[in-house]
Protein backbone atom coordinates (compact mmCIF):
# COMPACT_ATOMS: atom_id res chain seq x y z
CA UNK A 1 0.00 0.00 0.00
CA UNK A 2 2.77 2.43 0.82
CA UNK A 3 4.55 1.86 -2.46
CA UNK A 4 1.35 2.29 -4.43
CA UNK A 5 0.40 5.57 -2.79
CA UNK A 6 3.95 6.90 -3.14
CA UNK A 7 3.96 6.09 -6.83
CA UNK A 8 0.57 7.72 -7.26
CA UNK A 9 2.05 10.99 -6.06
CA UNK A 10 5.37 10.82 -7.84
CA UNK A 11 4.35 9.28 -11.16
CA UNK A 12 4.23 12.68 -12.89
CA UNK A 13 7.82 13.54 -11.90
CA UNK A 14 10.92 12.71 -13.96
CA UNK A 15 12.81 9.80 -12.50
CA UNK A 16 16.42 8.75 -12.11
CA UNK A 17 16.72 5.05 -12.79
CA UNK A 18 19.75 2.80 -12.95
CA UNK A 19 19.66 3.20 -16.70
CA UNK A 20 19.05 6.88 -17.24
CA UNK A 21 18.37 10.33 -15.87
CA UNK A 22 15.38 12.29 -17.11
CA UNK A 23 15.62 16.06 -16.89
CA UNK A 24 12.64 18.31 -16.48
CA UNK A 25 12.30 20.26 -19.69
CA UNK A 26 10.97 23.28 -17.83
CA UNK A 27 14.46 24.79 -17.69
CA UNK A 28 15.29 24.53 -21.41
CA UNK A 29 16.41 27.94 -22.73
CA UNK A 30 13.78 29.61 -24.94
CA UNK A 31 16.36 30.00 -27.73
CA UNK A 32 16.58 26.23 -28.15
CA UNK A 33 12.96 25.17 -28.19
CA UNK A 34 9.42 26.32 -28.85
CA UNK A 35 8.13 27.85 -25.62
CA UNK A 36 4.54 27.69 -26.71
CA UNK A 37 3.96 24.41 -24.90
CA UNK A 38 6.61 24.75 -22.20
CA UNK A 39 7.19 27.40 -19.59
CA UNK A 40 10.86 28.30 -19.22
CA UNK A 41 12.51 29.04 -15.91
CA UNK A 42 13.03 32.69 -16.81
CA UNK A 43 9.37 33.11 -17.77
CA UNK A 44 8.26 31.17 -14.73
CA UNK A 45 10.02 33.51 -12.34
CA UNK A 46 9.25 36.72 -14.21
CA UNK A 47 6.39 37.61 -11.93
CA UNK A 48 8.54 37.58 -8.83
CA UNK A 49 11.99 38.72 -9.97
CA UNK A 50 13.34 42.10 -10.96
CA UNK A 51 14.73 42.74 -14.44
CA UNK A 52 18.27 42.65 -13.13
CA UNK A 53 17.62 39.28 -11.51
CA UNK A 54 16.13 37.92 -14.70
CA UNK A 55 19.11 39.07 -16.70
CA UNK A 56 21.45 37.22 -14.38
CA UNK A 57 19.26 34.15 -14.74
CA UNK A 58 18.98 34.21 -18.50
CA UNK A 59 20.68 30.82 -18.55
CA UNK A 60 18.30 28.01 -17.62
CA UNK A 61 19.16 25.05 -15.44
CA UNK A 62 17.92 21.49 -15.29
CA UNK A 63 16.35 19.73 -12.34
CA UNK A 64 16.83 15.97 -11.99
CA UNK A 65 14.73 13.92 -9.58
CA UNK A 66 14.95 10.38 -8.26
CA UNK A 67 12.23 7.83 -7.89
CA UNK A 68 10.70 7.81 -4.39
CA UNK A 69 12.77 6.15 -1.71
CA UNK A 70 11.15 4.55 1.32
CA UNK A 71 12.53 5.08 4.80
CA UNK A 72 10.62 4.10 7.97
CA UNK A 73 7.43 6.21 8.01
CA UNK A 74 8.63 8.64 5.36
CA UNK A 75 9.04 8.86 1.60
CA UNK A 76 11.92 10.85 0.17
CA UNK A 77 12.80 12.09 -3.29
CA UNK A 78 16.28 13.28 -4.15
CA UNK A 79 16.78 16.23 -6.49
CA UNK A 80 19.74 17.84 -8.23
CA UNK A 81 19.58 21.39 -9.57
CA UNK A 82 22.26 23.11 -11.60
CA UNK A 83 22.85 26.74 -10.56
CA UNK A 84 25.41 29.47 -11.28
CA UNK A 85 28.58 29.56 -9.24
CA UNK A 86 28.43 33.35 -9.19
CA UNK A 87 25.00 34.97 -9.26
CA UNK A 88 26.45 38.30 -10.39
CA UNK A 89 27.59 36.60 -13.58
CA UNK A 90 31.12 37.99 -13.30
CA UNK A 91 32.74 34.59 -12.70
CA UNK A 92 31.65 31.81 -15.07
CA UNK A 93 30.78 28.29 -14.05
CA UNK A 94 27.98 26.20 -12.58
CA UNK A 95 27.62 24.02 -9.52
CA UNK A 96 25.06 21.42 -8.49
CA UNK A 97 22.72 21.78 -5.53
CA UNK A 98 21.36 18.61 -3.97
CA UNK A 99 18.20 18.57 -1.91
CA UNK A 100 15.98 15.87 -0.47
CA UNK A 101 12.18 16.22 -0.35
CA UNK A 102 10.68 14.40 2.64
CA UNK A 103 7.00 13.65 3.24
CA UNK A 104 5.18 11.49 5.77
CA UNK A 105 4.09 8.18 4.25
CA UNK A 106 0.58 9.01 5.50
CA UNK A 107 0.52 12.29 3.55
CA UNK A 108 2.10 11.30 0.26
CA UNK A 109 -1.13 12.00 -1.63
CA UNK A 110 -1.68 15.38 0.02
CA UNK A 111 -0.64 17.77 -2.74
CA UNK A 112 -1.63 20.82 -0.71
CA UNK A 113 1.03 20.44 1.96
CA UNK A 114 3.25 23.54 2.00
CA UNK A 115 7.02 23.33 1.92
CA UNK A 116 9.42 23.89 4.79
CA UNK A 117 13.10 24.42 3.99
CA UNK A 118 15.55 23.46 6.71
CA UNK A 119 18.86 25.33 6.75
CA UNK A 120 21.63 23.45 8.54
CA UNK A 121 24.10 24.92 11.00
CA UNK A 122 27.75 25.29 10.15
CA UNK A 123 28.94 26.83 7.93
CA UNK A 124 30.15 23.95 5.84
CA UNK A 125 27.93 21.08 6.95
CA UNK A 126 25.41 19.16 4.87
CA UNK A 127 21.74 18.69 5.73
CA UNK A 128 20.67 15.82 8.01
CA UNK A 129 20.25 12.36 6.50
CA UNK A 130 16.96 11.09 7.96
CA UNK A 131 16.76 7.45 9.00
CA UNK A 132 13.13 7.65 10.14
CA UNK A 133 10.38 10.21 10.71
CA UNK A 134 11.90 10.91 14.13
CA UNK A 135 15.50 11.45 13.04
CA UNK A 136 16.27 14.30 13.47
CA UNK A 137 13.79 14.75 16.31
CA UNK A 138 12.08 17.87 14.93
CA UNK A 139 11.30 16.15 11.62
CA UNK A 140 8.26 14.22 12.83
CA UNK A 141 6.56 17.39 14.05
CA UNK A 142 7.46 19.20 10.83
CA UNK A 143 5.98 16.40 8.70
CA UNK A 144 2.61 16.94 10.39
CA UNK A 145 2.45 20.32 8.64
CA UNK A 146 4.86 20.31 5.70
CA UNK A 147 6.78 18.63 2.98
CA UNK A 148 10.30 19.16 4.31
CA UNK A 149 13.20 20.14 2.07
CA UNK A 150 16.65 19.17 3.32
CA UNK A 151 19.12 21.08 1.15
CA UNK A 152 22.85 20.48 1.21
CA UNK A 153 24.18 24.02 1.21
CA UNK A 154 26.55 24.66 -1.66
CA UNK A 155 29.98 23.22 -1.08
CA UNK A 156 28.69 20.55 1.33
CA UNK A 157 27.54 16.98 0.99
CA UNK A 158 26.29 16.30 -2.54
CA UNK A 159 26.07 19.98 -3.50
CA UNK A 160 29.41 20.23 -5.31
CA UNK A 161 31.02 19.37 -2.00
CA UNK A 162 34.36 21.04 -1.36
CA UNK A 163 37.24 18.95 -0.07
CA UNK A 164 40.84 19.88 0.57
CA UNK A 165 41.81 17.80 -2.44
CA UNK A 166 39.35 19.13 -5.00
CA UNK A 167 39.81 22.74 -3.91
CA UNK A 168 43.31 22.49 -5.40
CA UNK A 169 41.70 22.00 -8.83
CA UNK A 170 40.67 25.65 -8.72
CA UNK A 171 44.28 26.69 -9.32
CA UNK A 172 46.55 28.89 -7.24
CA UNK A 173 45.80 29.69 -3.59
CA UNK A 174 44.49 33.08 -4.78
CA UNK A 175 42.14 31.36 -7.23
CA UNK A 176 41.05 28.92 -4.54
CA UNK A 177 40.24 31.80 -2.19
CA UNK A 178 38.29 33.58 -4.93
CA UNK A 179 36.27 30.42 -5.58
CA UNK A 180 35.43 30.14 -1.88
CA UNK A 181 33.87 33.61 -1.81
CA UNK A 182 30.82 32.15 -3.55
CA UNK A 183 30.01 29.81 -0.67
CA UNK A 184 28.49 32.17 1.88
CA UNK A 185 24.93 32.81 3.04
CA UNK A 186 24.11 35.22 0.19
CA UNK A 187 24.72 32.51 -2.42
CA UNK A 188 23.05 29.84 -0.30
CA UNK A 189 19.87 31.92 -0.23
CA UNK A 190 20.01 32.45 -3.99
CA UNK A 191 20.25 28.66 -4.39
CA UNK A 192 17.26 28.19 -2.10
CA UNK A 193 15.18 30.54 -4.21
CA UNK A 194 15.96 28.47 -7.30
CA UNK A 195 15.02 25.33 -5.41
CA UNK A 196 11.69 26.89 -4.39
CA UNK A 197 10.88 27.96 -7.93
CA UNK A 198 11.87 24.59 -9.37
CA UNK A 199 9.69 22.68 -6.91
CA UNK A 200 6.70 24.91 -7.53
CA UNK A 201 6.92 24.53 -11.26
CA UNK A 202 7.58 20.80 -11.17
CA UNK A 203 4.36 20.41 -9.19
CA UNK A 204 2.34 22.89 -11.29
CA UNK A 205 1.95 25.33 -8.42
CA UNK A 206 1.65 29.10 -8.45
CA UNK A 207 5.16 30.60 -8.80
CA UNK A 208 4.34 33.12 -6.09
CA UNK A 209 3.59 30.43 -3.50
CA UNK A 210 5.61 30.94 -0.33
CA UNK A 211 7.39 28.50 1.91
CA UNK A 212 8.42 28.36 5.56
CA UNK A 213 12.11 28.30 6.45
CA UNK A 214 13.75 26.96 9.58
CA UNK A 215 17.39 27.68 10.38
CA UNK A 216 19.57 26.27 13.15
CA UNK A 217 22.68 28.24 14.21
CA UNK A 218 24.39 29.35 10.97
CA UNK A 219 21.17 28.29 9.27
CA UNK A 220 19.52 31.11 11.24
CA UNK A 221 22.08 33.52 9.80
CA UNK A 222 20.91 32.31 6.37
CA UNK A 223 17.28 32.86 7.40
CA UNK A 224 18.12 36.47 8.26
CA UNK A 225 19.78 36.88 4.86
CA UNK A 226 16.68 35.38 3.26
CA UNK A 227 14.46 37.87 5.08
CA UNK A 228 16.69 40.64 3.71
CA UNK A 229 16.69 39.45 0.09
CA UNK A 230 13.44 37.59 -0.60
CA UNK A 231 10.83 38.33 2.06
CA UNK A 232 8.07 37.97 -0.54
CA UNK A 233 8.95 34.27 -0.84
CA UNK A 234 8.47 33.49 2.85
CA UNK A 235 5.37 32.39 4.70
CA UNK A 236 7.19 32.19 8.03
CA UNK A 237 10.78 32.43 9.23
CA UNK A 238 11.92 30.31 12.18
CA UNK A 239 15.33 30.54 13.85
CA UNK A 240 16.86 28.37 16.57
CA UNK A 241 20.06 29.60 18.18
CA UNK A 242 20.71 31.55 15.00
CA UNK A 243 20.24 35.30 15.31
CA UNK A 244 23.42 36.66 13.68
CA UNK A 245 25.36 39.06 15.92
CA UNK A 246 25.89 42.78 15.32
CA UNK A 247 24.70 42.84 11.72
CA UNK A 248 25.25 46.58 11.32
CA UNK A 249 29.05 46.27 11.64
CA UNK A 250 31.37 45.86 8.61
CA UNK A 251 32.87 42.83 10.35
CA UNK A 252 31.57 41.72 13.72
CA UNK A 253 34.22 39.04 14.30
CA UNK A 254 36.19 41.01 16.91
CA UNK A 255 32.99 41.92 18.74
CA UNK A 256 31.81 38.32 18.59
CA UNK A 257 34.94 36.84 20.15
CA UNK A 258 35.18 39.57 22.77
CA UNK A 259 31.78 38.35 23.97
CA UNK A 260 32.08 34.63 23.36
CA UNK A 261 35.39 34.19 25.15
CA UNK A 262 33.65 35.14 28.40
CA UNK A 263 31.00 32.49 27.79
CA UNK A 264 33.69 29.92 27.03
CA UNK A 265 35.35 30.64 30.38
CA UNK A 266 32.00 30.16 32.13
CA UNK A 267 31.46 26.81 30.41
CA UNK A 268 34.94 25.71 31.52
CA UNK A 269 34.06 26.61 35.09
CA UNK A 270 30.87 24.58 34.87
CA UNK A 271 32.68 21.62 33.38
CA UNK A 272 35.38 21.44 36.02
CA UNK A 273 32.82 21.89 38.78
CA UNK A 274 31.03 18.82 37.41
CA UNK A 275 34.23 16.80 36.90
CA UNK A 276 36.94 18.27 39.17
CA UNK A 277 39.16 15.21 38.80
CA UNK A 278 39.59 16.00 35.11
CA UNK A 279 41.82 18.96 35.97
CA UNK A 280 44.65 16.57 36.79
CA UNK A 281 43.96 14.36 33.76
CA UNK A 282 44.10 17.29 31.36
CA UNK A 283 47.32 18.58 32.91
CA UNK A 284 48.81 15.08 32.60
CA UNK A 285 47.87 15.01 28.92
CA UNK A 286 49.43 18.43 28.30
CA UNK A 287 52.59 17.42 30.17
CA UNK A 288 52.93 14.20 28.19
CA UNK A 289 52.50 15.96 24.84
CA UNK A 290 54.83 18.80 25.77
CA UNK A 291 57.56 16.35 26.72
CA UNK A 292 57.58 14.70 23.30
CA UNK A 293 60.57 15.59 21.10
CA UNK A 294 58.53 17.91 18.85
CA UNK A 295 55.88 18.77 21.43
CA UNK A 296 53.22 16.72 19.66
CA UNK A 297 51.80 13.23 19.13
CA UNK A 298 50.68 11.93 15.73
CA UNK A 299 47.07 10.72 15.55
CA UNK A 300 45.88 7.75 13.45
CA UNK A 301 44.73 10.24 10.77
CA UNK A 302 48.11 11.95 10.69
CA UNK A 303 46.97 14.99 12.67
CA UNK A 304 49.16 16.59 15.30
CA UNK A 305 47.82 16.19 18.81
CA UNK A 306 49.18 19.26 20.56
CA UNK A 307 48.20 21.20 23.67
CA UNK A 308 46.13 23.54 21.50
CA UNK A 309 44.26 20.70 19.73
CA UNK A 310 43.43 19.26 23.16
CA UNK A 311 42.00 22.65 24.13
CA UNK A 312 39.98 22.70 20.90
CA UNK A 313 38.03 19.65 22.08
CA UNK A 314 35.80 22.23 23.78
CA UNK A 315 34.28 23.20 20.45
CA UNK A 316 32.24 20.01 20.11
CA UNK A 317 31.59 19.45 23.81
CA UNK A 318 31.29 22.50 26.06
CA UNK A 319 28.28 24.08 24.39
CA UNK A 320 26.06 21.09 23.54
CA UNK A 321 23.70 18.89 25.50
CA UNK A 322 25.59 15.87 26.78
CA UNK A 323 28.87 17.49 25.81
CA UNK A 324 30.31 17.55 29.31
CA UNK A 325 29.71 13.85 29.66
CA UNK A 326 31.24 13.01 26.27
CA UNK A 327 34.36 14.99 27.08
CA UNK A 328 34.69 13.39 30.52
CA UNK A 329 34.36 9.86 29.14
CA UNK A 330 36.89 10.61 26.45
CA UNK A 331 39.44 11.96 28.90
CA UNK A 332 39.00 8.87 31.08
CA UNK A 333 40.56 6.79 28.28
CA UNK A 334 43.49 9.14 27.66
CA UNK A 335 46.29 6.87 28.85
CA UNK A 336 47.37 3.34 28.09
CA UNK A 337 50.05 2.85 30.71
CA UNK A 338 52.37 5.83 30.44
CA UNK A 339 51.42 6.74 26.85
CA UNK A 340 48.42 8.28 25.18
CA UNK A 341 46.08 5.45 24.22
CA UNK A 342 45.20 4.61 20.64
CA UNK A 343 41.54 4.96 21.58
CA UNK A 344 42.08 8.49 22.81
CA UNK A 345 44.11 9.49 19.79
CA UNK A 346 41.43 8.14 17.48
CA UNK A 347 38.76 9.96 19.48
CA UNK A 348 40.69 13.20 18.97
CA UNK A 349 40.42 12.66 15.22
CA UNK A 350 36.69 11.97 15.49
CA UNK A 351 36.01 15.10 17.53
CA UNK A 352 37.46 17.40 14.88
CA UNK A 353 35.51 17.39 11.62
CA UNK A 354 37.78 19.75 9.75
CA UNK A 355 39.17 17.06 7.45
CA UNK A 356 35.77 16.05 6.07
CA UNK A 357 34.14 19.50 6.19
CA UNK A 358 36.93 22.01 5.51
CA UNK A 359 34.51 24.84 4.61
CA UNK A 360 33.74 25.16 8.31
CA UNK A 361 37.35 26.01 9.05
CA UNK A 362 38.30 28.09 6.05
CA UNK A 363 35.08 30.15 5.83
CA UNK A 364 34.07 30.37 9.46
CA UNK A 365 35.07 33.92 10.30
CA UNK A 366 33.85 35.21 6.92
CA UNK A 367 30.26 34.69 8.08
CA UNK A 368 30.72 37.83 10.18
CA UNK A 369 32.04 39.99 7.31
CA UNK A 370 30.13 42.53 5.23
CA UNK A 371 31.03 45.59 3.12
CA UNK A 372 33.16 48.16 4.84
CA UNK A 373 36.73 47.18 4.12
CA UNK A 374 37.41 45.17 7.27
CA UNK A 375 38.90 41.67 7.25
CA UNK A 376 38.35 39.10 10.00
CA UNK A 377 42.13 38.55 10.13
CA UNK A 378 41.98 35.51 12.43
CA UNK A 379 39.93 37.35 15.03
CA UNK A 380 39.62 34.38 17.40
CA UNK A 381 43.38 33.87 17.50
CA UNK A 382 44.02 37.54 18.20
CA UNK A 383 41.47 37.51 21.03
CA UNK A 384 42.73 34.33 22.71
CA UNK A 385 46.31 35.62 22.60
CA UNK A 386 45.24 38.45 24.90
CA UNK A 387 44.17 35.95 27.59
CA UNK A 388 47.10 34.41 29.45
CA UNK A 389 44.68 31.95 31.06
CA UNK A 390 44.36 30.14 27.71
CA UNK A 391 48.07 29.21 27.61
CA UNK A 392 47.76 25.47 28.25
CA UNK A 393 51.44 24.80 28.86
CA UNK A 394 51.85 27.70 31.29
CA UNK A 395 48.68 26.71 33.14
CA UNK A 396 49.92 23.13 33.47
CA UNK A 397 53.29 24.20 34.84
CA UNK A 398 51.55 26.46 37.35
CA UNK A 399 49.16 23.69 38.44
CA UNK A 400 46.16 25.67 37.18
CA UNK A 401 43.18 24.63 35.09
CA UNK A 402 43.73 24.14 31.40
CA UNK A 403 40.94 25.99 29.61
CA UNK A 404 39.27 24.50 26.57
CA UNK A 405 38.39 26.80 23.69
CA UNK A 406 34.96 27.12 22.06
CA UNK A 407 33.68 27.75 18.55
CA UNK A 408 36.88 29.31 17.33
CA UNK A 409 38.95 28.60 14.24
CA UNK A 410 42.68 29.31 14.49
CA UNK A 411 45.40 29.62 11.83
CA UNK A 412 47.44 26.89 13.53
CA UNK A 413 44.67 24.41 12.65
CA UNK A 414 45.96 24.55 9.08
CA UNK A 415 49.23 23.15 10.43
CA UNK A 416 48.02 20.65 13.03
CA UNK A 417 45.31 18.98 10.93
CA UNK A 418 46.71 16.97 8.05
CA UNK A 419 44.00 17.69 5.47
CA UNK A 420 43.90 21.41 6.25
CA UNK A 421 47.62 21.76 5.52
CA UNK A 422 46.71 21.44 1.84
CA UNK A 423 44.68 24.67 1.91
CA UNK A 424 46.69 26.74 4.39
CA UNK A 425 47.67 29.42 1.88
CA UNK A 426 44.09 29.84 0.68
CA UNK A 427 42.89 30.09 4.29
CA UNK A 428 45.33 32.91 5.01
CA UNK A 429 44.13 34.79 1.91
CA UNK A 430 40.46 34.40 2.91
CA UNK A 431 41.26 35.70 6.41
CA UNK A 432 42.72 38.88 4.88
CA UNK A 433 39.83 39.55 2.48
CA UNK A 434 37.96 42.77 3.14
CA UNK A 435 35.74 43.29 0.06
CA UNK A 436 32.84 41.04 1.03
CA UNK A 437 29.32 41.55 -0.32
CA UNK A 438 26.41 42.37 1.98
CA UNK A 439 24.64 39.61 3.84
CA UNK A 440 21.86 41.67 5.40
CA UNK A 441 19.72 44.65 4.49
CA UNK A 442 18.83 46.35 7.75
CA UNK A 443 16.29 48.67 6.08
CA UNK A 444 14.35 45.63 4.79
CA UNK A 445 14.55 43.92 8.18
CA UNK A 446 13.33 47.08 9.89
CA UNK A 447 10.24 46.98 7.66
CA UNK A 448 9.75 43.21 7.89
CA UNK A 449 6.21 41.86 7.52
CA UNK A 450 7.03 38.13 7.46
CA UNK A 451 5.89 36.33 10.62
CA UNK A 452 9.15 35.43 12.33
CA UNK A 453 10.05 33.66 15.57
CA UNK A 454 13.35 32.77 17.19
CA UNK A 455 14.39 30.39 19.94
CA UNK A 456 17.15 32.28 21.73
CA UNK A 457 19.30 30.59 24.36
CA UNK A 458 20.51 32.66 27.27
CA UNK A 459 23.61 30.52 27.92
CA UNK A 460 24.53 29.92 24.27
CA UNK A 461 28.31 29.52 23.86
CA UNK A 462 28.11 29.86 20.07
CA UNK A 463 25.79 32.84 19.54
CA UNK A 464 26.13 35.48 22.24
CA UNK A 465 22.76 36.33 23.77
CA UNK A 466 23.36 40.06 24.06
CA UNK A 467 24.62 40.42 20.50
CA UNK A 468 21.67 38.36 19.29
CA UNK A 469 19.34 40.79 21.01
CA UNK A 470 20.81 43.65 19.00
CA UNK A 471 19.79 41.86 15.83
CA UNK A 472 16.40 40.85 17.22
CA UNK A 473 15.70 44.55 17.64
CA UNK A 474 16.38 45.10 13.93
CA UNK A 475 13.79 42.56 12.68
CA UNK A 476 10.37 44.13 12.89
CA UNK A 477 7.76 41.85 14.42
CA UNK A 478 10.20 39.14 15.49
CA UNK A 479 8.92 37.16 18.45
CA UNK A 480 11.30 35.27 20.70
CA UNK A 481 11.22 32.27 22.95
CA UNK A 482 14.08 33.01 25.34
CA UNK A 483 15.21 30.20 27.61
CA UNK A 484 18.13 28.74 29.51
CA UNK A 485 16.68 25.23 29.31
CA UNK A 486 18.95 24.58 26.33
CA UNK A 487 22.49 25.52 25.37
CA UNK A 488 22.86 25.79 21.58
CA UNK A 489 21.08 22.68 20.37
CA UNK A 490 17.54 22.92 21.68
CA UNK A 491 16.25 21.67 18.34
CA UNK A 492 18.23 18.47 18.94
CA UNK A 493 17.18 18.10 22.56
CA UNK A 494 13.48 18.80 22.13
CA UNK A 495 12.84 19.52 18.48
CA UNK A 496 9.10 18.77 18.30
CA UNK A 497 8.17 21.05 21.17
CA UNK A 498 10.46 23.81 19.95
CA UNK A 499 9.09 23.73 16.42
CA UNK A 500 5.48 23.82 17.61
CA UNK A 501 6.27 26.76 19.89
CA UNK A 502 7.85 28.76 17.09
CA UNK A 503 4.99 28.02 14.71
CA UNK A 504 2.50 29.12 17.36
CA UNK A 505 4.43 32.34 17.93
CA UNK A 506 4.21 33.04 14.19
CA UNK A 507 0.58 32.02 13.78
CA UNK A 508 -0.92 33.63 16.86
CA UNK A 509 -1.31 30.44 18.86
CA UNK A 510 0.74 32.15 21.56
CA UNK A 511 -0.68 35.61 21.99
CA UNK A 512 1.19 38.79 22.75
CA UNK A 513 0.94 39.81 26.38
Return mean pLDDT, the chain: 89
Q: Would residue 137 show up in a list of annotated catalytic residues for this protein? A: no
79, 352, 364, 488: the active-site residue: 488
Name which of 128-137, 265-274, 314-323, 447-456 the model is least confident about. 128-137
Q: Would residue 217 show up in a list of annotated catalytic residues for this protein? A: yes
Q: Where are the domains of the chain?
A: 2-209, 253-432
More confident residue, 61 or 331: 331
3-state helix, strand, coil in the chain (%, to 5): 45, 15, 40
Task: Let me know: does 345 contact 109? Beta carbons within 8 Å.
Answer: no
pLDDT reported for residue 61: 55
More confident residue, 62 or 326: 326
Q: Which residues 6+ apart lie within 8 Å of 282 measured at CB? A: 310, 331, 401, 402
450's enclosing H/E stretch is: none
Q: Is 395 a residue whose pLDDT tops 60?
A: yes
How far is Cα of residue 331 from the mean position of the Cα atoms in its chain?
Answer: 28
pLDDT reported for residue 62: 77
Handedness of CA 321, 323, 329, 332 (dihedral sign): negative
The C-alpha atoms of residue 417 and residue 404 are separated, in whole angstroms, by 18
Q: Helix, strand, or coil here: 284?
A: helix
The C-alpha atoms of residue 423 and residue 228 are separated, in whole angstroms, by 32
Handedness of CA 504, 480, 447, 154 (dihedral sign): negative
Q: Would residue 428 show up in a list of annotated catalytic residues for this protein? A: no
pLDDT in tens, 311-325: 999 999 999 999 999
pTM listed for this prediction: 0.88
94, 109, 165, 435: the active-site residue: 435
- Average pLDDT (248-276) is 97
pLDDT in tens, 72-110: 999 999 999 999 999 999 999 999 999 999 999 999 999
64, 217, 246, 259: the active-site residue: 217
Q: Is 24 a residue whose pLDDT tops 80?
A: no
Q: Please give the DSSP secondary-structure letter assigned to residue 132.
A: B
pLDDT reported for residue 134: 86
Amino acid sequence: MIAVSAWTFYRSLPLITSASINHLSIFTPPTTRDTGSCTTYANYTSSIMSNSKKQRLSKAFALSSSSPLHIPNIVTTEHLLQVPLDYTGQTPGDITVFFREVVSRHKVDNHDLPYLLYLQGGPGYEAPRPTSSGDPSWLKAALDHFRVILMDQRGTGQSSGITCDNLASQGTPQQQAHYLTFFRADSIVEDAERVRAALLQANNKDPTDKWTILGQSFGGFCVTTYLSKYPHSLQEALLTGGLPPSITLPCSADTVYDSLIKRVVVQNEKYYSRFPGDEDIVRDIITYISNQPEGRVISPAGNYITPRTIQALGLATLGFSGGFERLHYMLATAFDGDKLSFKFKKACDAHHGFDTNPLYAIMHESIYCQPGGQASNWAAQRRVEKEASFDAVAATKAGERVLFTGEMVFPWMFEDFAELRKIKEAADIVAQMSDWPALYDVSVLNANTVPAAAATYYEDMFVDFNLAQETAGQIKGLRQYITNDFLHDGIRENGPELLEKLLNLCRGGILLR
